[in-house]
Structure 1
Amino acid sequence: MFMDSSTGVELVMNPPYPTGQPVLVLDESWETQPEARLGRTYNCVVKEDDGSIRIWYSVDDPANDERYVSYAESSDGIHFTKPVLNLVDVGGTTANNAVLPSMIGGSSVWIDPNAPPEERYKTQTKVYSPEVWGQFHMHSSPDGIRWKLFENVRIGRGGWDTQSIVFWDPRIGRYVLYTRYWVAKRHGTAEGNESYRTVRRLESDDLRRWDNQSIVMWPDEVDLATYETSVPLRPTGPDSPHGRVPMDYYGALVFKYPDAEGGVYIMLAHANWCWYDSELVVTSVRDDLEAERQETRTLQLPSRFDTRLSVSRDGNSFQRCGGRKPFMRPGPEGSFSSRSIWEMPNPIRVGDELWIYYTGANWDENGIVDPAAQSRLSGIDRAVMRLDGFVSADADYSGGELLTPSIRFSGRRLELNVDTGAGGSVW
């Protein structure tokens, strides 16, 4: 929406509504080991030209020291099947739906419009295998199922240990990459004690050499001041002993909005809240899998995610929307998404709706499970919103008026996306 002027009109962010009914959980025999869990931040969805919807999701199994990517498919986006593909050994058998092997950090599958058919699908992730620990690998595939290494991508310092987004941008005629950038002494990107996450953007002509780096989302002065004076529970900022800030941006889903003339880029940035320290007695099974043990740890809390909406015309300079209120937030206490939500690339259109698939989990960044739940829970759900309804121009009961610039369009009529209620009108 372009507005030259308005009277009695307010721009309002419109969060989607989660259905609360996961379309995918870990329920197959090879997925239900005692410590197996759905990866919270490494899942993705693609809608094919025939209308079918495909999900790639990560499974973490610390008991067997495995992390792998699996595949599911659906004709309606609600009921998914997990085909047995016999491609990857999981727990001593290939009778499963895994498509990428152990210790691949996750997936962010996208379709490369410039690639030959045998490399049409791409995905990229950090790798955790001992022999190549920490490398950033891009894989390619002809069908989204059979993958091979495409490139060991080198993008410089700053880390990339979360979901990374890549797509071809015809507006600039280059590929773009959005990934994490750590401002931290250990990454050689900070001179002092600073330690916080931001989102960076890079460009490439060939997916191998990347340049033109910029930081596109970071905790700014407003974010950093959130708890600086009102809740002095922990020293924050670059001069504090640990250099941590009350919140930072763990990662971001960025996509170019389809059918928008020129360029409209949507960012759903994942705000990570960690504004006070607390000593808690926690049960650990990761270091000694033979028996549980308890230990006292200093944890950064509340250690939860919610999502911020931002918009851009060039994919570089983003405007934050909604007064920094959450675009999506964790579910109620006791639910499968009570501690973490992570939107999956990319939202898909179904009729006059936009479906945003997301991963929900009831444990926080420290691994602590919601005490209101009976067990560890996670799943992939849909959040549904009106098509093009991220932000609307709202008027109150007495009405409002807005004036747009001159609009050129093809065809014989102009359609408005309007909800007036039962008794309203537009004229």
Structure 2
Amino acid sequence: MCSATVILLALSLSVMHASTAEAVPIGKGKQLFVDDFIIDSQENLSRILHHPQRYSGNPVLTGTEAWERWLLEVNGRPVLYDEETRQFRMYYGANLDDPTAPSGTRYKVCYAVSKDGVHWTRVPLGQVEWQGSRANNILKWGENWMRRPNVIMDAADPDMRRRFKMTYVDVVNGNAVICKAYSQDGIHWRLNGDGEPVRGGANSNLLGWDPHIGRYVLYPRVAGPPTRAGRSRSDAIGRSISADFVTWSEPEPVLVAEPSDRNRDFKGLAAFLYSDAYLGLLWIFEGEKSAEAELAFSRDGIRWQRVSPGEMFFHQGGPESWDSNGILPVAPVIHGNRIYFYYAGWNVPYTNDTVIKQRNGTSTTIAPPNAALRRVREGWIENGTRKQWAIGLATLRLDGFVSLRAGHAAGALTTKPLEVAGATLAANADVRGELRAEILDEDGNRLPGYGAGDCSPIRSDNMRHLVRWRGKTNVADLRGKHVKLRFTLHDGDLYSFWFE
């Protein structure tokens, strides 16, 4: 699978764009190239969409336990890194038949931890009895279910009992609803503790606390418009906000399928903050055939664009792989110098149809709903391959979503006027040839001492190059001034820049 894709059309988002007469207030945030927000002009540069690289030992977690039975999933925001304990925490789904549960399935959440994000340990919790034993890692569920958990650590909440917050799906009074839960330790939860659920529905993605607006933000799945494929409606992405995590606004649609998407549905948006931008993994379901993810972005969390419509940022696996039928990546974890993308993957049919076709030898039979999942729970092995839902990992370099690439011919990028907010200019770049930077005034004239000839050439791969002019990195004399930056690149990829 290719690790990068050329985006042929330059993106331009009108939201918050400054005119050439105004300085863009970038502060010390990293400036990504998912759009043209800070770009004034560019020459001989291609915008490249990079793809997460799968861990070679995938899947990292499979359903080997009696309460899992080869059916594991992650959904929403189920993984976080705890700086205090220095470990990853994962809240994953394990769903088995139970005639006493709504729809005949007991959706439940299990808990695991990891020091490196690769090797996971199930933590015995003793909260739930399963087949006569409490020796398991199952979290206590709500009235009927605990499904699709979104978990955040909220250090700003003065109430330690609400330090961990969760949204999850339960069935209350016969209806699927999005509920809330609170915990001091992330293990013992007060389920739906403040009464009313967030709203009805079976899927949502929690962004968490948004410091830009001082609100919690949730992206639930909502009804979209009719499709060109003839269906009366499609699935779309909505947005709901809350000041206290208790009372939430009615969701408003923020991302809907285009007419050209035909039979595609937007099943979810795993949104996350990245420096000053909002990014999201848009779950694209192609009817019942495949599930993959595009990369989406926004400058305000409301008006979203797809970086490259129709081009997948995260692909399903190859024909013989464990994730060949579909993948569902969740909000990533940033740790060290990598971005960790966990995802559910499966190699069995995914269907919501009333019936599915199931091959048995040379004949084709009609199977009841969810027959493929029931076969998985029974230990389905075909041609020596385990049929399953499992959890995988893929990673990306910091800021590595999109780059501006130059080949043998030198490329150049000039920014809009920016306000210098730090004492040093840094860049994330993989340079096979050479990268130089110069600082210009608002009219495009080189500032003395900051020309390309004064700049020490960069000729390596580093996620934090410090730009030097005449051997010095200090640009404190320009702090608060409005300048343009001009990067000249030969044979390399520029991922981001920032002041620090």
Equivalent in 374, 379, 401 of residue 385 of structure 2: 374
Equivalent in 199, 208, 225 of residue 167 of structure 1: 208
Q: Residues 233-280 of structure 1: CA distance to partner in whole angstroms, max 9, x if unpaired?
A: xxxxxxxxxxxxx111011100111xx2xx310011100101xxxxxx
* Cross-structure match for 1:57: 92
* Cross-structure match for 1:117: 160
What is the CA–CA distance in structure 2 between the aligned matches of 1:137 and 1:315, rounded to whole Å?
22
* Cross-structure match for 2:22: none
Structure 1 residue 305 displacement after superposition? 0.5
Structure 1 residue 410 displacement after superposition? 4.9
Matched letter for residue 69 of structure 1: V
Task: Answer yes or no: is the 8 Å Cα contact 2:77–2:205 preserved in 1.
Answer: no
Pair 1:317-2:303 in alignment: yes
What is the CA–CA distance in structure 2 between the aligned matches of 1:63 and 1:134, rounded to whole Å?
17
Q: Residues 367-387 of structure 1: CA distance to partner in whole angstroms, max 9, x if unpaired?
A: 558977733223222111110
What is the CA–CA distance in structure 1 between the aligned matches of 2:195 and 2:231, rounded to whole Å?
30
3-state DSSP of counterpart to 2:186: coil
Pair 1:355-2:393 in alignment: no
Structure 1 residue 106 displacement after superposition? 2.7
Pair 1:413-2:424 in alignment: yes
Equivalent in 396, 399, 406 of residue 395 of structure 1: 406
* Cross-structure match for 1:218: 256
* Cross-structure match for 1:326: 312
What is the CA–CA distance in structure 2 between the aligned matches of 1:179 and 1:353, rounded to whole Å?
28
What is the CA–CA distance in structure 2 between the aligned matches of 1:176 and 1:162, rounded to whole Å?
14
3-state DSSP of counterpart to 1:415: strand
* Cross-structure match for 2:326: 340
Instruction: List runs of 5+ in structure 2 lacking aligned partners.
Output: 1-30, 32-37, 100-104, 352-369, 374-380, 438-500
Matched letter for residue 252 of structure 1: L
Task: Answer yes or no: is the 8 Å Cα contact 2:219–2:240 preserved in 1.
Answer: yes
Pair 1:265-2:252 in alignment: no
3-state DSSP of counterpart to 1:70: strand
3-state DSSP of counterpart to 1:319: strand
3-state DSSP of counterpart to 1:416: strand
* Cross-structure match for 1:98: 138
* Cross-structure match for 1:242: none
3-state DSSP of counterpart to 1:118: helix
The change in CA–CA distance for 1:63 and 1:127 in structure 2 (over 3 A counts) is closer
Structure 1 residue 79 displacement after superposition? 1.3
* Cross-structure match for 1:291: none
Matched letter for residue 80 of structure 2: V
Alignment of 1:56-95 (within 5 A): 56-62=91-97, 65-95=105-135
* Cross-structure match for 2:471: none
* Cross-structure match for 1:10: 46
Q: Residues 364-415 of structure 1: CA distance to partner in whole angstroms, max 9, x if unpaired?
A: 3215589777332232221111101111111222120000134445553211
Alignment of 1:217-236 (within 5 A): 217-224=255-262
Structure 1 residue 74 displacement after superposition? 1.1
- TM normalised by structure 2 equals 0.67
Structure 1 residue 40 displacement after superposition? 5.3
The change in CA–CA distance for 1:166 and 1:8 in structure 2 (over 3 A counts) is closer
Tell me the percent identity: 27
Larger radius of gyration between Structure 1 and Structure 2:
2
What is the CA–CA distance in structure 2 between the aligned matches of 1:222 and 1:359, rounded to whole Å?
27
Task: Answer yes or no: is the 8 Å Cα contact 2:209–2:216 preserved in 1.
Answer: yes
* Cross-structure match for 1:240: none
3-state DSSP of counterpart to 2:149: coil
Structure 1 residue 426 displacement after superposition? 3.6
Instruction: List runs of 5+ in structure 1 lacking aligned partners.
Output: 186-191, 225-245, 275-300
- Mean Cα deviation higher: 196-205 or 211-220: 211-220
Structure 1 residue 103 displacement after superposition? 2.0
Pair 1:199-2:233 in alignment: no
What is the CA–CA distance in structure 1 between the aligned matches of 2:166 and 2:397, rounded to whole Å?
29
Matched letter for residue 186 of structure 2: G
Task: Answer yes or no: is the 8 Å Cα contact 2:169–2:202 preserved in 1.
Answer: yes
Structure having the higher strand fraction is 2
The change in CA–CA distance for 1:63 and 1:155 in structure 2 (over 3 A counts) is closer
